[in-house]
Amino acid sequence: MNAYVSNMSLQAVAQLLLSSQQLTLTTHAKPDGDAFGSVTALGRALHLLGKRVHVLVMPPVPAGLRFLQGSNIPDVYKPQLPLPESDLYVVVDTGAWGQLVPMDLRLREKTEKLLVVDHHLSGDVPAAYRYIDGKAAACAEIIAQLIELLEDITGKQLMDAVVCEQLFVGIASDTGWFRFSNTRPQTHELAAKLMHKGVDHSALFEKLEQNDRPEKLALLTRALDNMHFLAGFKGAIMVLSARDFEETGALIEETERLVDLPRNVAGVQVVAMISQPPTQVGQAAQPVRVSFRSKPGEQAVNVAELAAQFGGGGHARAAGAKIDAPLEEVVARVSQAIVMTLQGPVTTTQPAEVSR
């Protein structure tokens, strides 16, 4: 990974946006609430400023996000088409090429006109412009600050109902509804400000967190059935095969939040969710996806470093990677990495023993 730090201030980012007339915005594939909320809120604000804005997302998009105000703003990216001609290309909530597939092939030709706005700890996109704030609980926190700067500079009101709702979705999503250790006083202050502007947090929670399909519950059952504990119950791993998705009818994006469940077990410090996407007819097999989580505290494990062992990255408490290998091999490698992280090097080359 390249040095992943800011090379400009947020004020300079605001001026860069204002100096651009045509902009294309995007975020990582399989956008979560923070990615979707951040790119949609910024796109809406720039539109209100009279800019010509294209917002593109790469599916799958979780169903709950499609019921939000402004959910019609993004278009689905079509790999067979070139990116719109723009003065500036903006990527939010990631700076990793691996999370921008398949759009990365187009964006690699635009790096001299590329701006990355992110809150993750690592990235490898050599964008000409970067603003990185690793302390922000969500990228939406940064986008909120940026929109407020745009308001101050232009004197225009940009925090309308759509922008406010999308920003709230972003911060609520990445903080587990303000439960996770990344939640800061600033996060609560922003939430309060957005609620004062009319955001209905209860209605949003129902749309986003209480609207699961029965198929997701069936997938949850499979995940729990396939859960193993490692390193004396200090680690936990859940495995979902392509067959689990095919037999339950669940979608790959419905794994969201499942990785958080084993952290409810006392003593568990690190959790990994390993998911093998089902292969679509006529398409090549996709890499196996691994999501890592850890608990805060004196024994906290930096799972961004754990994910980096597999070419991934993310936050200290939440990270991920994609591994192009058979499922059984991925399970063995990830299991051993977790055991070595929690206990130190093991003396065998075989996967660490697990207990059910």
- For the cut 90, the answer to whether the pLDDT of residue 63 exceeds it is no
Q: Give 56-85 as a DSSP string.
A: EE-SPPPGGGGGSTTTTSPEEP-TTSPPPP
β-pair type (75-76, 52-57) = parallel
Mention the CATH class of domain 10-208.
alpha beta
Domain ranges of the chain: 10-208, 214-343
- For the cut 90, the answer to whether the pLDDT of residue 3 exceeds it is no
Adjacent-strand bridge partners of 237 = 228, 272
- CATH fold of 214-343 reads Diaminopimelate Epimerase; Chain A, domain 1 (3.10.310)
Query: Fold identical between 10-208 and 214-343?
Result: no
Residue with tokens 């502007």: 197
What tokens does 138 get? 């969500």
What does the chain come to in residues? 356
Instruction: State in Å, rounded, how far the first CA of the chain is from the last one.
Output: 37
Adjacent-strand bridge partners of 203 = none
Q: CA-to-CA distance for 255 and 86, rounded, in angstroms?
A: 35
Q: What percent of the chain has pLDDT over 70?
A: 95
> Is the CB of residue 119 less than 8 Å from the CB of residue 132?
yes
Which pTM value belongs to this model? 0.84
Model pLDDT for residues 189-203, shown as the tens digit of each residue? 999 999 999 999 999
How many CB atoms lie under 10 A from the CB of residue 193? 16
Q: Confidence class of residue 288 from pLDDT cuts 50, 70 and 90?
A: very high
- Name which residue leads in pLDDT, 349 or 342: 342
The radius of gyration of the chain from alpha carbons, rounded to an integer in Å, stands at 20
Q: Can you say whether the dihedral through the CA atoms of 21, 22, 27, 33 is positive or negative?
A: positive
Name residue 288's amino acid.
Answer: V
Task: Compute CA 332 distance to the chain's CA centroid, rounded to the nearest angstrom.
Answer: 25
Which 3-state string (H, E, C) describes 15-31? HHHHCCCEEEEEECCCC
Q: Confidence class of residue 345 from pLDDT cuts 50, 70 and 90?
A: low
Q: CA-to-CA distance for 176 and 187, rounded, in angstroms?
A: 12
Model pLDDT for residues 8-59, shown as the tens digit of each residue? 999 999 999 999 999 999 999 989 999 999 999 999 999 999 999 999 999 8
Model pLDDT for residues 106-132, shown as the tens digit of each residue? 999 999 999 999 999 889 999 999 999
β-pair type (227-230, 288-294) = unpaired
- For the cut 70, the answer to whether the pLDDT of residue 356 exceeds it is no
- For the cut 50, the answer to whether the pLDDT of residue 91 exceeds it is yes
- For the cut 60, the answer to whether the pLDDT of residue 355 exceeds it is no
Model pLDDT for residues 294-331, shown as the tens digit of each residue? 998 888 999 999 999 998 888 888 899 999 999 999 99
Q: CA-to-CA distance for 133 and 10, rounded, in angstroms?
A: 10
- For the cut 70, the answer to whether the pLDDT of residue 271 exceeds it is yes
Check residue 42 and give its pLDDT. 98
Model pLDDT for residues 214-264, shown as the tens digit of each residue? 999 999 999 999 999 999 999 999 999 999 999 999 998 899 889 999 999
